[in-house]
Amino acid sequence: MSRMSPTSPVSPVWHAARAGVRRGCIELRQTFTTGQDVFGYTIWTVLLVVPLFLVRDDRLEGAGISVGAFMLPSMVGMTLAFTGMMTTAQLLATEREDGTLLRAKSVPHGMVGHLVGKIVMVSGTALVSMGLALAAGVFLVEDVARQGGGAWLTLLWVVPLGLLATLPIGAVIGSLVDSPRTIGLLMLPVMGLIVISGIYFPLSKLPEWLQTVGQIFPVYWLGLGLRSALLPADAVAAELGESWRHLETAGVLGAWTAAGLLLAPPVLRRMARRESGSAMAERHRKAMQRVG
Partners of residue 66 on adjacent β-strands: 59
pLDDT at 176: 84
Buried b / exposed e along 168-206 (16+ C-beta atoms within 10 A): bbbbbbbbebeebeebeeeeeeeeebbebbbbbebbeeb
The reported pLDDT for the residue numbered 269 is 78
- Cβ-in-10-Å burial (0-12, 13-18, 19+) of 225 comes to buried
Profile the chain (292 residues) by mean pLDDT over runs of 10 residues: 48 83 91 88 84 83 84 89 89 80 76 85 90 83 68 87 92 82 79 87 90 94 92 89 93 94 84 67 58 52
pLDDT at 1: 42
Quote the pLDDT of residue 223. Answer: 93
d(CA 167, CA 260): 8
The amino acid at 156 = L
User: How confident is the model at residue 287, as a pLDDT?
Assistant: 56
β-strand partners of 65: 60
In this prediction, residue 140 carries a pLDDT of 82
> What is the pLDDT at residue 98?
75
Residue type, 179: S
Question: Looking at residue 253, what is its pLDDT?
Answer: 96
- Which one, of 143, 132, 133, 137, lies nearest residue 54 by Cα? 137
